[in-house]
Amino acid sequence: MKFHIENMTCGGCAKSVSKAIAAIDPTCEINFDIPNRTIEFVTEKRADLFAHALASKGYPAVSI
């Protein structure tokens, strides 16, 4: 699963994003690309669950 997160601009943002994802699937290992503002991870959960959780934390995400 891959998302573009426009508001993710630093390591602090990445930590917040990581917490939001871990709340849904704590086993995810997330690959961050902060300069391109993308994340990628493998999960069995639905993408909309992650998109909603990220948006609620102030990081609207678009699945790519």
Query: Region 38-57: what's the mean pLDDT?
Result: 96
CATH of 2-63, one of 3.40.50.300, 1.10.260.40, 3.30.70.100, 3.40.1110.10: 3.30.70.100
Indicate whether this model's pTM tops 0.85.
Answer: yes
Residue 38 has what pLDDT?
98
Query: Region 44-61: what's the mean pLDDT?
Result: 96
Residue 59: CB atoms within 10 Å: 21
- pLDDT tens-digit profile of 6-34? 999 999 999 999 999 999 999 999 999 99
Helix axes 47-56, 11-22, angle to 10 degrees: 130
CB 24 within 8 A of CB 49: yes
